[in-house]
Amino acid sequence: MFFHRQELQHQAKPDKPDAVFARKLQEVLGGQYGEITVAMQYGFQAWNTHLPGKYRDLLYGIGAEEFGHVEILATMIAQLLEKAPVGATEKAIQDDPTVAAIIGGMDVQHAIVAGAGARPVDSNGNPWSGAYVTASGNLLADFTANANAEMQGRLQVARLYHMTDDHGVKDLLGFLLARDTMHQNQWMAAAKELQEEGHELFPVPSNFPLANEDRDVSYQYINFSNGPLASEGSWASGPTPDGKGEFTYVAEPPAGVPMPPPTVPDPRLYGTSPVPNTAEKVTSKIKDVLHKD
Amino acid sequence: MFFHRQELQHQAKPDKPDAVFARKLQEVLGGQYGEITVAMQYGFQAWNTHLPGKYRDLLYGIGAEEFGHVEILATMIAQLLEKAPVGATEKAIQDDPTVAAIIGGMDVQHAIVAGAGARPVDSNGNPWSGAYVTASGNLLADFTANANAEMQGRLQVARLYHMTDDHGVKDLLGFLLARDTMHQNQWMAAAKELQEEGHELFPVPSNFPLANEDRDVSYQYINFSNGPLASEGSWASGPTPDGKGEFTYVAEPPAGVPMPPPTVPDPRLYGTSPVPNTAEKVTSKIKDVLHKD
Amino acid sequence: MFFHRQELQHQAKPDKPDAVFARKLQEVLGGQYGEITVAMQYGFQAWNTHLPGKYRDLLYGIGAEEFGHVEILATMIAQLLEKAPVGATEKAIQDDPTVAAIIGGMDVQHAIVAGAGARPVDSNGNPWSGAYVTASGNLLADFTANANAEMQGRLQVARLYHMTDDHGVKDLLGFLLARDTMHQNQWMAAAKELQEEGHELFPVPSNFPLANEDRDVSYQYINFSNGPLASEGSWASGPTPDGKGEFTYVAEPPAGVPMPPPTVPDPRLYGTSPVPNTAEKVTSKIKDVLHKD
Amino acid sequence: MFFHRQELQHQAKPDKPDAVFARKLQEVLGGQYGEITVAMQYGFQAWNTHLPGKYRDLLYGIGAEEFGHVEILATMIAQLLEKAPVGATEKAIQDDPTVAAIIGGMDVQHAIVAGAGARPVDSNGNPWSGAYVTASGNLLADFTANANAEMQGRLQVARLYHMTDDHGVKDLLGFLLARDTMHQNQWMAAAKELQEEGHELFPVPSNFPLANEDRDVSYQYINFSNGPLASEGSWASGPTPDGKGEFTYVAEPPAGVPMPPPTVPDPRLYGTSPVPNTAEKVTSKIKDVLHKD
Amino acid sequence: MFFHRQELQHQAKPDKPDAVFARKLQEVLGGQYGEITVAMQYGFQAWNTHLPGKYRDLLYGIGAEEFGHVEILATMIAQLLEKAPVGATEKAIQDDPTVAAIIGGMDVQHAIVAGAGARPVDSNGNPWSGAYVTASGNLLADFTANANAEMQGRLQVARLYHMTDDHGVKDLLGFLLARDTMHQNQWMAAAKELQEEGHELFPVPSNFPLANEDRDVSYQYINFSNGPLASEGSWASGPTPDGKGEFTYVAEPPAGVPMPPPTVPDPRLYGTSPVPNTAEKVTSKIKDVLHKD
Amino acid sequence: MFFHRQELQHQAKPDKPDAVFARKLQEVLGGQYGEITVAMQYGFQAWNTHLPGKYRDLLYGIGAEEFGHVEILATMIAQLLEKAPVGATEKAIQDDPTVAAIIGGMDVQHAIVAGAGARPVDSNGNPWSGAYVTASGNLLADFTANANAEMQGRLQVARLYHMTDDHGVKDLLGFLLARDTMHQNQWMAAAKELQEEGHELFPVPSNFPLANEDRDVSYQYINFSNGPLASEGSWASGPTPDGKGEFTYVAEPPAGVPMPPPTVPDPRLYGTSPVPNTAEKVTSKIKDVLHKD
């Protein structure tokens, strides 16, 4: 169960309206790595997890905070839009390049669709998508996904930090940056603990019997481009991070196997055939097929 | 530049047709974490990278291999479909439950749209989306995204491994599992090397001045759910993985700040107002606004 | 701020696994009118509203409940999937039509992607989309949207009720039906109160000056099909619900106005022109244009 | 069958070109609540309806009008674009801020993709989606959806009305506003008539046996936020609009039920397990499972 | 303006219900090349065209027919679903594999969402998308797109023809096949006429001054794969179809140019830099930048 | 297998940065008819083809070139963005209209998400979609799709050519225009050869027995609009391009057939019924149904 309290975890007061920045802020609200994504992702991971106890508590504990971040950003966006220049006409645009620029740079759906409100979309107006969520039931994979989400998220907030000089906005971004710092650290700690306790190891999934994979190529760097320098990395020689092998470098991919011949499916799919394939032949083939179909 | 050779990196010969498994295999071809995703992701990361040398060579070197994996899977799917029961009629379904089940379980667009061919979609028929790709220009974030992609990918292949008893298919899956093992290892090695060489550290982005973030909350676990066990994890006390702080545990979120009052945007957006807002009033307000607009 | 408590508002215990029904249940979790939609919709309406007080409290009060319903359904789906037949091979399908049918009828991503977990998608696997959300800032419009959402939602749950004979599932559906009954009633009451208090009237938006619309056609039923019976409805004669007019019936649409002539845009857009438009002519036109561009 | 006549229901002649407004107008052509949506929605409702007679005639009669509105808007957009500044180069942008603003504010696909033509997308360029359509077979629900669509549509047109000072455009918007006034009124009248004739009542669907729902919570307002004012609304006490109950107010949600324990699905899904789950154990479990699979 | 008549261009009466085939039929209603696509495509081409007269009349004349085809298919689908087995429970599935197969093979949203009605989606439930429409303002390109759409459409109907033995359905498919035959022929005739009248030639757009393109490579077949046989085609030697050149065959792509060095964007984008890029350095760089920003 | 060489087929060096043009260039990289589309389309056609030899070699040979074009455009976009004005603040926008215009006209995700890098999206930020790909297994249909794709692509590049005055960009566009000229020619040649060799004829699919279609209407132009001029085209009289018939012109569509009566599906779908359909009646009907269900 979720309970709501009419407070914000951190204040969200811009110094002044800024419809252009409101649009940009949509990225960290409703983008691929925005707050809706992490809120939903931690939720689904918690609901799908097979582990009771501290890991599940962690997912629930942070997930609910992220829903609060969705709210903070939506609130901030609504305020940045509160005095947006709605009535921009052709004349206004011609008279005042600044008005024109704001109209050009703002998300016009903020005005037309939401009446100066926030929307569940990214900074280009793409609606948030459930396809952004990762919740596989394998916690080492999912915690890595979470660490990535927090890195991408913090990176985007850091970029936004320099696109405004509004102290109220910067104050909120500074708070979000700090929480992303925390969450990056915490998913890395959790991924490490999961391994130390033996719940999961690399390569994920660690309980798949390795004998079933083609071990000959499990640690080969096979170079399909012509840059030789990748051979100098720690991924091309020496022990592998999973502790189970030794990297080798293969400068030229070995010869492959011939492609199988093109398929020849049922004539009733009317693909183009290698030999002239007249309607008469098809009719006759169909009759044959129908006898046994 | 990309060059194509009409060979496959590994053979792709199923023992027999299986339209239901062909559909499932679409997941690792055209799904969120399928081969199209990693091929495009490593490509865009290479094109966007700011680092010449071994890291870029690595991205190019593996990216091109992944395009070859797209091809292997497409080839396998076409063969699994080659003898799919196209002509399934109501009668056939009633007569033979197995035929019925295959029709029910297959991707019907395989027959209707592609004529027994592969498609750039996932196992539920959702078209592959550019929104699956992550390429931020920050390599530590992106290598973490890559490690996650290879984990999710290997996990899905491992699951598929038990959904077939076809030796040809299992042989290919065993190959793909091994390559995913390699790629998991290699992105982890690359992420480590990037830090050791000082290109990037945690928290990402490491060159954002930490003084700009709200350091008071950078290492606090704030518990927004009621499970107490998360306090026992390594993410709730002790040094933080980024080496810059100490985790603390906050069992109850501190009081927040009051929400700002609801916004009151321009009357010409026709939102619902706190006070009765008649057309007459709006007309009058509009007149006022127009004088200064 | 949102707080989470590790309890469910209502129990969610199926009698037995049922992967096919788990897929169907995704509709009311992640479909157009599923619980994610109403949770997010009431949230965005609250964040965008311009009215403090009871209406905003109402939006917050119900919105948080709906996030809890998302959780209940995700929990139920995970349990329905807990013993799903994962390892279905071609042989298993051939041997047991029931297994085959389950594979055919289930969402294969439940197994391959989520490892027997719930996903933010509908019953056909379409990811939940931010485009499902309506939050316009006009509360009479939005409460009508909410009433519709609760009607469509209750309708879908009612349909699902007859697609299972699992007592645990039916028990949960009976609870959701009752809550939808409540929410339908409450949005209708709120829409009525909004009008009685003069915040908003029909037609929405009621504060747009009616004199600006083409009042001649504000109450005409213009019949563009050939069925005469619509003339017998209360929408074709008598007073209009907004209390401002009288319906009239126009059996045949009056003659329209001629279409404007086709446009002739800039030659550099290379559209097909009415007169032969050679490269020479274009080159010459471009030169002319460039002089003034 | 649909027949087309080369006339427009209302004239669509802008005074002058305006590429920025052309983009905004796309919202009411191809947006969530644009004319394509209502045209298709009334069509699918008519094709899916189970009622012959006046209600179906109504759906057909208005649906065809809406296809004509699609045409009017497409025509208007093409004209607004006819003289759009196509050749905007870096130099032109630097020289003339107005040109720059137009480029910034226009939909660049209008020029690049459509050659100064209209497109089936919204004002942010999102393609129109079949997911916008509601056609459930339950007419009271669907008429409520239609009333909402007409309200949102009229609201958007009203907002657009103040974003231009072009008399030709305003003339068309005034016409569309009036038709939306009509259609709002008519769906409300139709919804009322449907109930008076006993086809459908609240709560929708009214023919679902109420005894199957959990009547204890059918009329409880359960407050999941901390705002007390919602208790003062007509939705918190007094008779319910469906005439079948009495609202009650529950200030604090009652204790819920404990969550069920986390699921433990088939080991071959390779989720993370509560206890260390080695490959050896999985192999052994798989052998056990295979004997009975 | 569009007018609707309550008749169908061809009868749409299945012999018996078939929910599985209803799902398949959705492909040619709401798929990439379904009737909604061609109806909307011809409409938008007509609204965007710059040519008055016979070409525009042709687009309008056929476009309206296609809207009628949307209606026929929706009607047929509703009838195929009329007696669909709604109440399929776990028990029913276990008892009767045929019921199970139908549930597995049907579009479950047909029942849950549309109450046995048609939907604007394809055979996998993907909503119809405005992105399927092509309307560029260049008629030779667009007529080629139309010819392709009619070919893909007829191909899909031909495939569907063998997936049913219902005479009523086959009767309708036979009608649609014939209309697709007509429309293929007509777009080919129109494309030819357009060229004969000099409105447009190959290569499209023919009025772009050829001197602006890199004529050295305008007719070279450059072989980027290792199959030598493409050299034997008419596309590798001899005169080109546009009548302006001679094909040549280049067996090996010539050496390319070196890639430009990786970009080094603004430090405030926090990408990973070639040299260790500390926060101190960034802070200092930012100060520098700010002085001139 | 694909191999990568770190060279570009053609140089990609802009004279100077231009973030606005970078956004526009995304259209031909990641739009409906951009390079990703043709690269993937020719790939899937090759993998799905049933013809060995020259046609398959052709598909592979060009497909790999197109992946190289993806790379060239991504490289160009990254360079155009290299010096994009990242730090645009409200003040900067107010001070300098040019900066404002650039911000308004650029794709803000270029900065926020990709850190001045290219993305797999179109010029409005819509992610590339697998739904853009056509690969049906019927080569005459697919080659027509390819010809269309190259026409639309060349048209878009021609339009872009006039939206910049950067010599480096124009140089690259001139190269792409020439390759599109080649590819248009080559797909037309291939389509012709396919017919001459008897693999496929019009109408596609040519091996579907014509007797199964409703030959009475195979060559009728039926005019559903009121423009009489279409009767003058070569598509309204004379021999048909497929050589199998004679066009006729039908000025007025013949009377259709009556629509079938509305469907009456299972009461448990809770649609709105023609007669008042009380819960009591439904309960009783359900009991009846259950006896036989």
**E257 strand-pairing partners:** F8
Q: Which residues contact E103 (CB under 8 A, 6 or more apart)?
A: B104, C20, C101, C104, C105, E85, E88, E93
Show which subunits contact C, needing at least 3 CB pairs below 8 angstroms: A, B, D, E, F
CA–CA distances in Å: residue B269 to residues A89, A93, D31, D155, F125 = 14, 19, 18, 8, 27
Query: Amino acid identity, residue A12?
Result: A
Between B290 and C150, name the one with better pLDDT.
C150
Find chain A residues with C-beta within 8 A of D97's C-beta: 97, 100-101
pLDDT band of residue A292 (cuts 50, 70, 90) is very low
For chain D positions 14-33, those within 8 Å of chain E (CB to CB) are 30
Q: Is residue F225 a known part of a binding site?
A: yes
Length of chain F: 293
Say which residue the tokens 């085959």 belong to: C100
CA distance D274 to chain A (A): 5
Between F194 and E273, name the one with better pLDDT.
F194
Which DSSP symbol is given to C128? P
> Which pLDDT score is estimated for B292?
44
SS (H, E, C) A65-118: HHHHHHHHHHHHHHHHHCCCCCCCCHHHHHHCHHHHHHHHHCCHHHHHCCCCCC
Cβ distance F274 to D52 less than 8 Å, yes or no, reads yes
> Which pLDDT score is estimated for C88?
65
Which DSSP symbol is given to A212? G
Find chain F residues with C-beta within 8 A of B75's C-beta: 47
Find chain E residues with C-beta within 8 A of B53's C-beta: 274
Cβ distance B159 to D286 less than 8 Å, yes or no, reads no
- Best of D157, D159, D162, D288 to disrupt the B interface (most B CBs within 10 Å) is D162
As a whole number of angstroms, the distance between CA B44 and CA F116 comes to 12
Mean pLDDT of E170-193: 98
Say which residue the tokens 């992420």 belong to: B191
> Which pLDDT score is estimated for F284?
67
As a whole number of angstroms, the distance between CA C159 and CA A278 comes to 49
Mean pLDDT of E117-140: 98
Find chain A residues with C-beta within 8 A of C65's C-beta: 2
Q: Is residue D227 a known part of a binding site?
A: yes
CA distance F74 to chain A (A): 17
What average pLDDT is seen over chain E? 92
Residue B209: closest CA among chain A residues belongs to which residue? A158
Q: Which residues contact C67 (CB under 8 A, 6 or more apart)?
A: A2, A67, C2, C39
Is the C-alpha dihedral spanning F60, F62, F65, F67 positive or negative?
Answer: negative
Q: Which of F235, F240, F263 minimises the CB distance to E190?
A: F235
Q: Is any Cβ of chain A less than 8 angstroms from the Cβ of D284?
A: no
Q: Is the pLDDT of residue A184 over 60?
A: yes
Q: Is the pLDDT of residue D176 over 90?
A: yes
Find chain F residues with C-beta within 8 A of D108's C-beta: 23-24, 27, 105, 123-124
Q: Which residues contact F18 (CB under 8 A, 6 or more apart)?
A: D90, F80, F164, F166, F169
Find chain A residues with C-beta within 8 A of B13's C-beta: 260
What average pLDDT is seen over chain B? 92
The pLDDT tens digits for D230-282 are 999 999 999 999 999 999 999 999 999 999 999 999 888 999 988 666 666 66
CA distance E158 to chain A (A): 8
The pLDDT tens digits for E194-246 are 999 999 999 999 999 999 999 999 999 999 999 999 999 999 999 999 999 99
> Which pLDDT score is estimated for E285?
60
For chain D positions 80-119, those within 8 Å of chain F (CB to CB) are 86-91, 93-94, 97, 100-101, 103-105, 107-109, 111-113, 115
Counting residues of chain D whose pLDDT is more than 90, the rounded percentage is 83
Question: Which residues of B line the annotated binding site?
Answer: 35, 57, 66, 69, 150, 183, 223, 225, 227
Which of A41-50, A71-80, D180-189, F276-285 comes out lowest in average pLDDT? F276-285
The alpha carbon torsion through A32, A36, A40, A43 (nearest 10 deg) reads 130
Q: Which of C2, C74, C118 minimises the CB distance to A68?
A: C2
**A222 strand-pairing partners:** A250
Q: Within a 10 A sphere around the Cβ of D252, how many other Cβ atoms? A: 10
Which of A102-116, B98-112, D270-284, E154-168 comes out lowest in average pLDDT? D270-284
CA atoms within 13 A on the CB side of D176: 34
Q: Which of B164, B166, B272 minimises the CB distance to C51?
A: B272
Strands E238-239 and E246-250: antiparallel
Question: Which residues of C line the annotated binding site?
Answer: 35, 57, 66, 69, 150, 183, 223, 225, 227
Q: Is the pLDDT of residue A275 over 90?
A: no
Q: Is residue F150 a known part of a binding site?
A: yes
What average pLDDT is seen over chain D? 92
User: Which of left, alpha, beta for E116 (phi over 0: left; psi -120 to 50: alpha)?
Assistant: left
Q: Is residue D48 a known part of a binding site?
A: no
Token pair listed for F43? 């790939």
CA D65 to chain centre: 19
Three-class secondary structure of residue B186 per DSSP? helix
Between E239 and E90, name the one with better pLDDT.
E239
Mean pLDDT of F265-279: 81
Find chain D residues with C-beta within 8 A of B286's C-beta: 162
Query: Amino acid identity, residue E238?
Result: G
The pLDDT tens digits for A190-243 are 999 999 999 999 999 999 999 999 999 999 999 999 999 999 999 999 999 999
CA atoms within 13 A on the CB side of A275: 4
The pLDDT tens digits for D121-139 are 999 999 999 999 999 999 9
pLDDT band of residue A261 (cuts 50, 70, 90) is very high
Question: Which residues of C line the annotated binding site for Ca(2+)?
Answer: 57, 223, 225, 227
Residue A278 burial (10 A CB sphere; 0-12, 13-18, 19+): middle
For chain E positions 148-187, those within 8 Å of chain D (CB to CB) are none
Q: Which of E50, E97, E101 minimises the CB distance to C262?
A: E50
CA distance F249 to chain E (A): 11
Which of B167-176, C166-175, E76-85 comes out lowest in average pLDDT? E76-85
pLDDT band of residue B282 (cuts 50, 70, 90) is low
pLDDT band of residue B284 (cuts 50, 70, 90) is low
> Which pLDDT score is estimated for F292?
45
**Per-10-residue mean pLDDT, chain C, length 293:** 97 94 97 98 97 96 98 98 75 70 87 97 98 98 98 98 94 98 98 94 95 97 96 97 96 94 91 74 59 45
Cβ distance C52 to B261 less than 8 Å, yes or no, reads yes
pLDDT band of residue D105 (cuts 50, 70, 90) is confident
- Best of D186, D237, D272, D287 to disrupt the C interface (most C CBs within 10 Å) is D186
Cβ distance F273 to D51 less than 8 Å, yes or no, reads yes
pLDDT band of residue A81 (cuts 50, 70, 90) is very high
User: Which of left, alpha, beta for A3 (phi over 0: left; psi -120 to 50: alpha)?
Assistant: beta
Question: Which residues of B line the annotated binding site for Ca(2+)?
Answer: 57, 223, 225, 227
Phi, psi (rounded to 5 degrees) for C6: -80, 60
Mean pLDDT of A155-182: 96
Residue contacts between D and E (CB atoms, under 8 Å) = 148
Cβ distance B94 to E97 less than 8 Å, yes or no, reads no
> Which pLDDT score is estimated for F293?
40
The pLDDT tens digits for B20-72 are 999 999 999 999 999 999 999 999 999 999 999 999 999 999 999 999 999 99
Three-class secondary structure of residue C156 per DSSP? helix
For chain C positions 224-253, those within 8 Å of chain B (CB to CB) are none
CA distance E264 to chain D (A): 22
Find chain F residues with C-beta within 8 A of E193's C-beta: 233-235
Angle at F242 between CA F237 and CA F246, to 5 degrees: 25
Residue E266: closest CA among chain A residues belongs to which residue? A159
CA distance E94 to chain D (A): 17
Token pair listed for F60? 């592979």
In order of their start, the domains of chain C are: 19-196 (1.20.1260.10), 210-250 (no CATH)
The pLDDT tens digits for D11-20 are 999 999 999 9
DSSP string, F34-51: SHHHHHHHHHHHHHH---
Strands (E), C114-273: 220-222, 238-239, 246-250, 257-258
CA atoms within 13 A on the CB side of A223: 24
